[in-house]
Structure 1
Amino acid sequence: MTNWDTKNGKKTCAGPREKAESARSPLSDKKACPVRYYAHTAENEAGQTLYTLKDGRQTTARPHPADLADEQIGWQPLAAHLRNVARLAGQFGKPMGMQKEAELAGLLHDLGKYSHRFQNRLRDPSIHGINHWAAGAVHAADLKQVPVAFAVDGHHTGMPALGGITGLKQTVRRKLDHTVWKEWTGCSESISELLARQSAAGGIALPSLPPFPLDDHFSGAFRTRLLFSCLADADFLDTEAHFNPPAASQRIVPTLQPEHALAILQGHLAAKPAGGSVNERRRRLLADCLASANKPPGLFTLTAPTGSGKTLSSLAFAFQHIAAHNSSLPQGDPRCFQRIIVVIPYTSIIEQTAQVYRDIFEPVFGPDYLLEHHSAVAPRERPEDLGRDAEEIRMRRARLAAENWDSPLVVTTSVQFFESLFSHLPSDCRKLHNIARSVVLFDEVQTLPSRLVPSLLSAVGLLTRDYGVTAVFMTATQPAFAAAGKALPYGWRPVEISSDPEAMAEALRRTRIELPAKESVSWEDIARKLIGHPQSLCVVNTTKDARRLFEMLRAQVADGTFHLSARLCPAHRREKLAAIRERLRAGLPCRLVSTQLIEAGVDVDFPVAFRALGPLDSIIQTAGRCNREGWHPQPCPVIVFRPADGGLPRGAYGVAKAKTEDFLARHPEAGGQLHLPAFYSAYFAELYDLLGPQSCQSDPVFTASHNFDFPKAAEECRLVGDDSRAVLVKWKRGAELADKLQRVQHLTAAECRAAQQFLVNLYQQEFIDARAKGYVFQPAKDWDFWVWNSNYSDDLGLGHLDIDSLTV
């Protein structure tokens, strides 16, 4: 008897153990099949495996295999698991037109568990290294269902890199050790016989499908990720239902109820003060949003100045758009919109926006109506560990804690949204199918990295073209995506919602921007100018500059002096912003030094602002925090200055700052026109020519996706340019969560959500340095999750680290 040695490509002699196991395989000898095939064991409340003995007793002590009953009480039958996953995956795939493919993936995903060796592994955890997913992937490849093959092969390990679509079967076979591969020799015939027997016994049956066409590789890879999402979420949910029925029963979420929600929102808006030119223009924007909402689903832009009410007017658009569209379809039609997803660049705005939504909707619909999701506080899937039996419990906890965006209103970050769209890991991708048939509101889209514009816009284009998504790109400074769109395979032809963006920008002009002199100024000079204004804002380019200027100010006027940066955890920033707003309302001294995180949508209103010279869109966004409500009849000053020894973040930020200097030098009249959309559109066009890829082929994410290289696409799709690591800080409830994680070695999904508010992100090099110095520790050995164990200041947040290139 010979087996295939995948390491050297030669046939080798099998030993007695391998011969015996092969002889007992359900595929090679039907008479040797175990009485029952199982997908999962049973566990007690402590997470210990429960074994049923031949006398009917159950024990957590691992018995000798000869003492085990053929039928294990509480273990999940494999056929039931495959049917359940197929049913759920098919439901998830139906709105995207891939119900049959998703059902096929569900039926095939654990096909390798129909093997003697895997069933022995369930009964004897000391057996390791059983690959149970590759067999189904091979069969899908034989059926020429490429997306199904990728999804099945990746549902534990992450979708693979295959250098295109060729060689799937060979690659999958290499993942099987020689004994297991011998069991699956003659795979198609054996699997067909097995499935036929199961179907005849009331088990499982495969749907028939035509071969998958591959005329557009980027589109095919995108569809594969969405199919992968259906399988991953279905598998996680059925696994959760088996191991944790109480948690599964709590997953019932409210429906969107767009008409009711719109009425509540309009009531909230009607209760706001009606007087003044600012409120008049906000009502005009709301009317534009409601009128445009009746247009067909697709791609929209909303260009409106800061303070014009985009946050709530765009939400009104979404509710009205869904109500109008869904009313034209039969109830329960899979083409109906299901949810609204709001995508925001910074966690600082997420906290603010989510709280506004909660205040409006939670009293009526309850706390589960809205999901705020920006950072996963759960054991991360590490590709080197995925699929190892020793990691099974840890990874199951990670996946069950991952979000799947099944709430009707989701608020998330650009990083979470786009990096998940191009991920290859199950816990990241499980949410993707819930993007289909959604209205997605992208806020402050000028923050998207120009180097990835082709892949990001192509993904949005496919969502709107093929998956029933309506997308709205919102900002006061609309990027020149139309110019970049000329190189996109799916084009870029959005419909503008605002009836007259230029007129609205002119009407809402509340500041005058003073451009910088050629001479630079010292931080001491800026501190003196800030002291001369009891209420003033200064935005700088790096955390080091923010800390330096804040400390100068605090030494002279401690009362009412504040610092904001991403060195403070979200809950801490929210508390600071509440104090700042209260002092501004009360007319008390309030001087704020901040990094650029204050710029994108944060609702504060100062009578004067200072801005270190930086990218043009950042200057305009700083102006949006000055005289925001129009309480001052004359335009308030926004003073741009050149710091004598100021730092700059790495990468594109410095290039954009240099382009701004060049652009302003060629347009000396700019100070009076920076509020006009046409002006900054010209700036963005020049910046994209300088920074952005000239074609899809020069975008690494697009190229990797085109080649079906899923790990490479995930690696390249980094919106912040560098890998970051979140650490939990022991600030208020953060200390309680850190202690719980250390004591019980894991957190619940609810606690993971709560912990989001106590995280600070470190760049990879910072994390390495902090770990070497003992500033962070890992409280749970099975969780790739870390706690900050050093100084955390009430004024400055995270201490010790001093990297000049940090932005926020």
Structure 2
Amino acid sequence: MSRLTKMKTLLGSLLGDKRSHPEKLLIDHLRRVTEFAQAMAQNHSIVIDEDLLAAVTLTHDLGKVHGKFQKLLDGIGAGVNHAKPSAWFTYSLTDDILAAEIVCRHHTGLRNLDDLIADWANDQEGNKTMQNLLPDWPFMISEDSFLDLQLYLYATLKYEIGIDHWLRTRLLYSLLIAADRMEAIGITSLPNKLLPAFSQPVLPSRSESIDAWRQNIKEVCLQRATKVEKPGVYTLTLPTGAGKTLTGMAIAHGWAQRFAANSIIYCLPFISIVEQTAAVAKEVFGSENVQEDHSLAYGKQRDEEIADYSREAAAWQKMSTMFRYWREPVVLTTMVHFWESIFNPRANRSMNFHRLTNAVVIIDEPQTISPRYWHGLGQLLAYLSQKCNIFFLLMTATQPQIVSEKELAPPNTLFPYNRHQYEVVMAETGETIKKVKVEDLADLLQAHLPVAEHSGLVVVNRKKAAVQAYRVLESLNLQAPILLLSGWVTPYRRRIFLRYLKWLEKKGCRHYLAATQVVEAGVDLDFGWVFRDLGPLDSIVQVAGRCNRHSKKDFIGEVVIAEIVSNRGHSTWRNIYDEILIDKTKEVLINKPCFSEQDVGGIVDKYYKKILEGLAEVPLFERLSQGQWGEYAKLFAEEDEVTNNVTVFIEENASLWSMLRKLEETEWTLEDRDEQKKLIQKVMQYAIEIPKTMVSACRSFCANIYTEDDEPIFRPIFEGRAWFLSKDAIKKEGGLYSPLLGFIPPETDDEEFSSIL
């Protein structure tokens, strides 16, 4: 009889009436978690050691038999750490220290190999701990066994660790975390939905010739996709307007059917594009089969929409809200969440990793990933595709050099005609790109663009510059609506603006938009001309994709590039983009300051080659291979802004203050976490981030203005971790927040906040 079989036989009698949760027997929890993990592994055809998975799941909470933990369940005392004691039981059963590490870290996160070795090799209390908790446990660890473990840790594991160890650990970890959280919140059964059929939506017609070109491109790409015979990393490089989104979905669905894939995971860089693409996916696959996953998605449902949920449906809603678990066969998610599922060491961020196995994964706009990650990411995607039977499809108009087994688009696929042309405004010497202050932008626009004749887009690098650009457009007396989109406009307001822009476009009304990079990739907006502040070349090309996007016949849009600087001559791209990206962009553009849309592919290829020549890459694959599992390379630099920024809630909703008060004053329990998280997602619709260094200036600006209840209009909440700006400060002119412009920083020296605005 194996150890596992013997343990299964004895476990019920060993645990007796010990509990895992207030009204749940520990033995029941362990068995159901095991059933869930095994079912998920089977549903997703995950190749894994079933006995090892069972050993991990059946032992993961054995430390909860401790008397202090049992008292905690009755509301007495502070409890005790149960994870490490549980992990010693795992090790005694399996002789597998990585399996034990999974249990040890199932409420925290994976860690680096050196930290793992030091912790386990120096913990000589394992056997004593096990004897105190379960005296009749049949597999105690002898002194010789512990010495063998120490020898293995220092003399073997340290030197044999490799990428296969990481993959096995990550898969087991993901299955345990997902199953444990599911069972804890009351889920009783797992769905096993089949992939839905593909339903071609009715598309708006541009022109007969363009429609025919699109259809031909789609058919050729689909035909080339049928030649794919194995998992791998494939690319689809198509110009803006070629119907890339639907073509990609059709390819993914075809592969999923041919190769029995369980899921389609579609990853996009920004929330606004996730929302936009999710709407298309719901038309194609049916809304009941599509999960829209991002930080704001689960706060959208109204209370009355979920009032009739069954207990099981309510539990699944909790799973989505609290953990953003990918439940449906088609998932639209953010690039950050996809990245976290692979690289983030934290337990709850890891639970979707197993959902990538036997899936088709679309990565849309992969050029938004830092070039420093390209090589390591390419290595890892190629490895995962072979080991986990994953088909990766990288789609964009400006394909980065990550990795590709095959390009699915026909060679040199170009739009049938030039929709726009580029002009780089050069300095008088002709040797550098022209630098211009925002207040002088009006003259440059009028000199180089048909500003008043067509709708226009001005994209700048900084939020404050976007406000200034809006003022510049206002000064031109354009007699047309002007809007602004940036991170200083609340998500609630941004949605309104995007709908309004689409409505103006549909009505054929001339309009203007000042924006930051939020409109770069994938946002379905169309303008007659575009100005782009100097940025990386691929970002410039993505913004240019908004110029004559809908292929107006007999019209060539104009894209103008110059370098905006502050009053002291400092470039606004600094501290936003890597200097090497800008340097290589300048090299390419100075050599060819005027070019057409048809030239873009060759120019972008030169740019990518130049940046890869001089770039210090982040060795993602090597880190994982060497056991650096606690390291986390954040996908976007914006993720680091959290430490420098503070959240400000803008009272654009009459219920916002009461929702914030409820969040702050309620003593939230584990049972309430779903309600708490939904409430957080609702209030985040009205949140922006501003630099912490601006708080003092904002307080001074509002110092003498009070609300009707004598509260300051700008005041701290959540013990100073966030701020609330009342409706009294929301004004078109003279307030801290404008319904048109978003947050308006108090007047300060431009350079004071130069690195953060």
Q: CA deviation at 1:705?
A: 3.1
- Given candidates 327, 330, 351, the residue that maps to 1:406 is 327
Q: Deviations over 1:682-731 (max 9, x none)?
A: 211111222341xxxx53x55553443433x1266655462427665443
Q: Is the 8 A contact 2:18 2:26 kept in 1?
A: yes
- Given candidates 719, 725, 728, the residue that maps to 1:789 is 725
Partner of 2:130: 184
Q: Is the 8 A contact 2:33 2:57 kept in 1?
A: yes
Distance, in Å, in 1 between the alignment partners of 2:532 and 2:99 is 52
Moved more, 182-191 or 556-565: 182-191
Q: Are 1:103 and 2:54 counterparts?
A: yes
Partner of 1:510: 419
Q: Are 1:288 and 2:203 counterparts?
A: no
Normalising by the residue count of structure 2, what TM-score does the alignment of the two structures yield? 0.77
Q: Is the 8 A contact 1:289 1:313 kept in 2?
A: yes
Q: Are 1:154 and 2:92 counterparts?
A: no
Q: Is the 8 A contact 1:300 1:471 kept in 2?
A: yes
- Given candidates 606, 615, 624, the residue that maps to 1:682 is 606
Q: Is the 8 A contact 1:541 1:649 kept in 2?
A: no
Q: CA deviation at 1:460?
A: 2.1
Distance, in Å, in 2 between the alignment partners of 1:355 and 1:804 is 38
Q: Are 1:428 and 2:349 counterparts?
A: yes
Partner of 1:321: 255
Q: Are 1:301 and 2:268 counterparts?
A: no
Q: Are 1:523 and 2:442 counterparts?
A: no
Distance, in Å, in 2 between the alignment partners of 1:720 and 1:106 is 37
Q: Any residues of structure 2 matched to 1:54-93 within 5 Å, and which?
A: 75-93=23-41
Q: Are 1:38 and 2:19 counterparts?
A: yes
Distance 1:495 1:147, change over 3 A: farther
Moved more, 601-610 or 507-516: 507-516
Distance, in Å, in 2 between the alignment partners of 1:771 and 1:37 is 54
Partner of 1:497: 408
Q: Is the 8 A contact 1:373 1:753 kept in 2?
A: no
Q: Is the 8 A contact 1:649 1:806 kept in 2?
A: no
Partner of 1:230: 175
Partner of 1:550: 470
Q: Are 1:355 and 2:279 counterparts?
A: yes
Q: Deviations over 1:237-282 (max 9, x none)?
A: 11111xxxxxx37x87683533x2x1x1x2x14x542734432332
Partner of 1:647: 572
SS in 1 for 2:395: strand
Q: Deviations over 1:184-238 (max 9, x none)?
A: 259999633599xxxxxxxxxxxxxxx9998552342243222211111111111
Partner of 2:629: 710
SS in 2 for 1:474: strand
Distance 1:798 1:444, change over 3 A: same
Distance 1:317 1:536, change over 3 A: same
One-letter code of the match for 1:456? L
Q: Are 1:571 and 2:571 counterparts?
A: no
Distance, in Å, in 2 between the alignment partners of 1:478 and 1:281 is 21
Distance, in Å, in 1 between the alignment partners of 2:134 and 2:661 is 52
Q: Is the 8 A contact 1:509 1:675 kept in 2?
A: no
Q: Is the 8 A contact 1:256 1:409 kept in 2?
A: no
SS in 2 for 1:507: coil
Q: Deviations over 1:429-473 (max 9, x none)?
A: 122221222211111111101223344333322321211211111
Q: Are 1:664 and 2:589 counterparts?
A: yes
- Given candidates 77, 89, 93, the residue that maps to 1:127 is 77
Distance 1:440 1:212, change over 3 A: farther
Q: Is the 8 A contact 1:109 1:152 kept in 2?
A: yes
Distance, in Å, in 2 between the alignment partners of 1:629 and 1:292 is 26
Partner of 1:459: 380
Partner of 2:458: 538
SS in 2 for 1:708: coil
Partner of 1:255: 193
Distance 1:651 1:524, change over 3 A: closer
Q: CA deviation at 1:661?
A: 1.0
Distance 1:188 1:579, change over 3 A: same
Distance 1:113 1:522, change over 3 A: closer
Distance, in Å, in 2 between the alignment partners of 1:770 and 1:455 is 43
Distance, in Å, in 2 between the alignment partners of 1:548 and 1:768 is 22
Q: Is the 8 A contact 2:296 2:682 kept in 1?
A: no
Partner of 2:207: 275
One-letter code of the match for 2:543? T
One-letter code of the match for 1:128? A
Q: Is the 8 A contact 1:505 1:676 kept in 2?
A: no
Q: Deviations over 1:565-592 (max 9, x none)?
A: 1222333222112211222332323111
Distance, in Å, in 2 between the alignment partners of 1:799 and 1:377 is 29
Distance 1:533 1:594, change over 3 A: farther
**Is there any run of 5+ residues in structure 2 with no aligned partner, and where?**
1-10, 142-155, 300-317, 428-433, 703-711, 727-735
Q: Deviations over 1:494-545 (max 9, x none)?
A: 2111022x1x225253111112222434434533536534411111122121
Partner of 1:332: none
Q: Any residues of structure 2 matched to 1:576-591 within 5 Å, and which?
A: 576-591=497-512
One-letter code of the match for 2:468? R
Give me the CA root mean square deviation.
3.8
Q: CA deviation at 1:761?
A: 4.6
Q: CA deviation at 1:475?
A: 0.9
Distance, in Å, in 1 between the alignment partners of 2:547 and 2:116 is 54
SS in 1 for 2:548: coil
One-letter code of the match for 1:650? N
Distance, in Å, in 1 between the alignment partners of 2:595 and 2:534 is 14
Moved more, 768-777 or 430-439: 768-777
Partner of 1:741: 663
One-letter code of the match for 2:277? T
Distance, in Å, in 1 between the alignment partners of 2:15 and 2:506 is 74
Distance 1:751 1:281, change over 3 A: farther
SS in 2 for 1:513: strand
Distance, in Å, in 1 between the alignment partners of 2:528 and 2:184 is 56
Q: Is the 8 A contact 1:293 1:318 kept in 2?
A: no
Q: Matched residues, percent identical?
A: 25
- Given candidates 444, 448, 469, the residue that maps to 2:390 is 469
Q: Would you say how many aligned residue pairs link Structure 1 and Structure 2? A: 658
- Given candidates 615, 625, 628, the residue that maps to 2:546 is 625
Distance 1:408 1:762, change over 3 A: farther
Q: Is the 8 A contact 1:415 1:719 kept in 2?
A: no
Q: Is the 8 A contact 1:567 1:798 kept in 2?
A: yes
